[in-house]
């Protein structure tokens, strides 16, 4: 297959842990060709097709200069066998516009994973609203008073912005309510911005588990991201320690309930965040943790992904 990855700049990859790199490496190992571009490279002109100036690359197998660029050229997206959308959040206006360009490319015959419309329909914090049977008590609001009432009821809460990633902007407020007003002001900008509030789940001490679902089926191991040094956040970007472990019965229950539903909507790869018994987020833009799970367990997550991608292209 001829694959195009829409991603962040290649020069920014930390290949020792990067999931997109793991996908590319496995794809090249199987003989597929690799190209990459960034969302700002996407172009559409009336009377033509969605195009992009792409970098055709070969992975070198070395760490310092991990890819060699064979050439840079403009290609219609419909000419690739598959397009893998791997741009990291934030899901801002430019990301939104990129999904529309990719959806137009789909109309022209391109195969895009994850499906652009599904990316728009499943904002990573809010997508859990569809599955309340698996979540802890949660509030989505702009109202300061609603947040205060939620805190009065649950006493120990987590507040977070809807557009954050990597643990950015997450606050815990305990029973004493210390700094609750200042935190609300910071997150909701005087009522202008919607935020999410959840009851604190104490099992965070055992890790914020990333459960990967590929083609509707759970990867048998998750990565528990365990907070370090007094942090409440387990995110690896916030200093959490990643420990791979087999799925618990609850992890598997959640993954098997959501997996087929989300896969049917065009979400080939999903990352479920589970703390204790509770689903906290559904990540669809660029779920990670492939390499950490593979390195610690021997289960080849990238191989499972490329197997599933190949099958999806063959079936389309």
Q: What is the pLDDT of residues 203-240, one digit of tens each?
A: 999 999 999 999 999 999 999 999 886 677 666 766 78
Tokens found for residue 153:
């009821």
Q: Name the burial class of residue 11, with classes exposed (0-12), middle (13-18) and buried (19+) by CB atoms within 10 angstroms of its CB.
A: exposed
Average pLDDT in the 12-37 region? 98
Full DSSP string of 113-161 = ES-HHHHHH--TTGGGGG-GGGSPSEEEES-HHHHHHHHHHHSSEEEEE
Q: What is the pLDDT of residue 316?
A: 86
Q: Is 132 among the domain residues?
A: no
**What pTM, to 2 d.p., does this model score?**
0.94
Average pLDDT in the 54-61 region? 98
2 given a catalytic annotation: no
Q: What is the pLDDT of residue 91?
A: 87
Percentage of the chain exceeding pLDDT 70: 98
Instruction: Give CA–CA dist 21/277, Å, rounded.
Output: 31
Among 55, 125, 199, 209, the active-site one is 125
Same domain, 193 and 220: no
233 given a catalytic annotation: yes
Q: Is 152 among the domain residues?
A: yes
Same domain, 50 and 117: yes
- Triad 207, 208, 211: Cα angle to 5°: 115
209 given a catalytic annotation: no
The structural domain count of the chain equals 3
Q: Is 126 among the domain residues?
A: no
Among 26, 106, 208, 273, the active-site one is 273
Query: Which of 200, 225, 242 marks a domain boundary?
Result: 200
- pLDDT band for position 115 (cuts 50, 70, 90): very high
17 given a catalytic annotation: no
Instruction: Give CA–CA dist 277/250, Å, rounded.
Output: 6
| Cα radius of gyration (the chain) | 20
Instruction: Give CA–CA dist 20/5, Å, rounded.
Output: 8
273 given a catalytic annotation: yes
Average pLDDT in the 24-32 region? 98
86 given a catalytic annotation: no
Average pLDDT in the 278-292 region? 97
Q: Is 288 among the domain residues?
A: yes
Q: Where are the beta strands (DSSP E) in 190-284?
A: 195-199, 208-214, 217-218, 221-226, 241-246, 269-275, 278-283
- pLDDT band for position 163 (cuts 50, 70, 90): confident
Q: What's 32's domain CATH number?
A: 3.40.50.20
Domain extent at residue 211: 203-315
Instruction: Give CA–CA dist 196/80, Å, rounded.
Output: 39
Among 87, 199, 209, 225, the active-site one is 225
- pLDDT band for position 59 (cuts 50, 70, 90): very high
Q: Is 127 among the domain residues?
A: no
Residues paired with residue 307 on neighbouring β-strands, in sequence order: none
Q: What's 182's domain CATH number?
A: 3.30.1490.20
Residue 262 has pLDDT above 90, yes or no: yes
Among 124, 208, 281, 292, the active-site one is 281
Full DSSP string of 46-75 = TTS--EEEEEEEEE-S-STT-EEEEEEEEE
**Cβ proximity of 20 and 86 under 8 Å:** yes
Among 86, 160, 199, 209, the active-site one is 160
56 given a catalytic annotation: no
């Amino acid at each position: 297959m001829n694959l195009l990855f829409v991603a962040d700049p290649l020069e920014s990859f930390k290949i020792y842990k990067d999931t997109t790199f793991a996908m590319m490496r496995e794809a090249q190992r199987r003989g597929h060709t690799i190209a990459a571009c960034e969302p700002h490279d996407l172009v559409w002109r009336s009377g033509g097709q969605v195009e992009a100036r792409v970098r055709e690359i070969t992975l070198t197998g070395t760490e310092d200069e991990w890819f060699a660029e064979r050439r840079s050229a403009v290609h219609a997206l419909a000419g690739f066998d598959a397009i893998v959308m791997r741009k990291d959040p934030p899901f801002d206006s430019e990301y939104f516009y990129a999904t529309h360009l990719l959806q137009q490319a789909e109309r022209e015959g391109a195969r895009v994973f994850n499906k652009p419309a599904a990316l728009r329909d499943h904002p990573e914090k809010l997508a859990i609203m569809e599955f309340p049977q698996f979540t802890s008590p949660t509030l989505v609001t702009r109202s300061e008073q609603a947040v205060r009432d939620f805190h009065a009821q649950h006493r120990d809460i987590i507040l977070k912005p809807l557009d954050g990633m990597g643990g950015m902007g997450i606050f815990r407020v305990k029973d004493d309510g210390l700094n609750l007003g200042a935190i609300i002001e910071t997150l909701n900008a005087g009522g202008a911005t919607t935020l999410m509030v959840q009851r604190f789940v104490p099992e965070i001490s055992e890790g914020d588990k990333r459960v990967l679902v590929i083609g509707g089926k759970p990867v048998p191991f998750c990565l528990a991201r365990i907070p370090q040094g007094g942090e409440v956040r387990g995110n690896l970007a916030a200093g959490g320690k990643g420990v791979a472990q087999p799925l618990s019965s609850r992890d598997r229950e959640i993954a098997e309930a959501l997996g087929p539903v989300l896969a049917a909507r065009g979400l080939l790869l999903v990352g479920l965040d589970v703390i204790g018994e509770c689903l906290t987020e559904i990540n669809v833009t660029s779920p990670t943790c492939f390499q950490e799970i593979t390195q610690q367990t021997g289960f080849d997550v990238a191989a499972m992904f490329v197997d599933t991608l190949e099958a999806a292209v063959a079936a389309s």
